[in-house]
Amino acid sequence: MIWLTLIGGLGLLLVGGEFLVRGAATVAGRLGVSPMVIGLTLVGFGTSMPELMASLQAALAGSPGVAVGNVVGSNIANILLILGAAALIAPLAVAKAGFKRDGLALIGATAVFIAIAMTGQIGRTSGVILILLLVAYTVWAYRSGQIDPADEVVIPNMRLPMGMALALLGIGGVIWGADLLVGAAIELAAAAGVSEAVIGLTLVAIGTSLPELATSVTAAIKRQGDLALGNIIGSNIFNVLGISGVTAVVSPLNIPEQIMTVDVWIMAGATVLMIGAAVTGWRITRAEGGVFVALYAGFLTLQFI
């Protein structure tokens, strides 16, 4: 029953997130918001809703290990597992202009997150700072003029009331799904005799990263490597700034020692590895993708030893 609840919660999160993105994009489009702005904000926010709601529910349930582990674990999974798998399908070309902006932003966001995490807690003040940094990055990306074609979205062909209803249905789905997922994850941690942080870093992180997996693999199959890479970088920036920031404002997060001393540095290492692979030849090769996936297998092994 625990596993059924976990799968059911994950399904609700994913479907609810998709409904929310489509509904919100419809509403914004009918109100005259440009497709580029919708792509930069609503779509990016919507695809990260599973991570956000899972971390919020975990924090409110008194399980900061799941909440913080979800953020850190999602970033590790995005780079090593998802980007690695996409590169194995097809080498990923790197768009220099967008990568210079977003890669720099990801390095800065990761450094700020780690600096705050090393204090042992992400408090409400720190949460506000992280959110403001995310807003600043979004404004910078919009005003820089270096907007990728993927940032523009096609507005769904539906009426405003239908869009509003779909968005509300999506919100309900992600809230309910997150509640089921986090509850099952906490029970699994107790039943398996492992820490909640390990469950957050692995099962919850992988589950809530499935939208990024679908997007990046699809982009790789279509030979749109810059879209696959941009999706990962944008998601990781949103995770460390937006998700941890919003969650900390709602409920301050105590950082588990395991995450503070080991896992944030693995996240930092994965980020540096990705940047290095991208700028050497401005492409991520199949061989590099294979190394990424192998490293992720090692990371999972480390968690459960």
Residuewise pLDDT in 10s, the chain (305 residues) = 788 887 888 788 778 777 877 777 777 777 776 655 555 556 556 667 778 888 888 888 888 888 999 999 999 999 999 999 999 998 988 878 778 888 899 999 999 999 999 999 999 999 999 999 999 988 887 776 554 544 455 566 788 888 888 888 887 887 788 778 778 877 877 787 888 888 888 888 887 787 777 777 777 887 776 677 877 888 899 999 999 999 999 999 999 999 999 999 999 999 999 999 999 988 899 999 999 999 999 999 998 77
Q: Give the model's pLDDT for residue 198.
A: 87
Angle between helices 64-76 and 264-279 (to 10 degrees): 20
Total structural domains within the chain: 1
Which domain CATH number covers 136?
1.20.1420.30
Longest Cα pair distance anywhere in the chain, in angstroms?
53
Pairing of strands 121-122, 92-93: unpaired
Q: Give the model's pLDDT for residue 228.
A: 76
CB-CB contact of 238 with 134 (8 Å) = yes
Residues 121, 217: Cα–Cα separation, whole Å: 35
User: Is the pTM here over 0.95, yes or no?
Assistant: no
Domain that holds residue 90: 2-304
Tokens of 300: 């999972």
Residue 284: what are its φ and ψ, rounded to 5°? -110, 115
CB-CB contact of 95 with 148 (8 Å) = yes
Residues 267, 73: Cα–Cα separation, whole Å: 8
Residue type, 236: N
DSSP code at position 256: P
Q: Which residues contact 125 (CB under 8 A, 6 or more apart)?
A: none
DSSP code at position 95: -
Q: Give the model's pLDDT for residue 54.
A: 85
Q: Give the model's pLDDT for residue 38.
A: 59
CB-CB contact of 62 with 235 (8 Å) = no
Residues 137, 72: Cα–Cα separation, whole Å: 20
Q: Give the model's pLDDT for residue 127.
A: 96
Tokens of 277: 């692979």
Tokens of 140: 């910078």
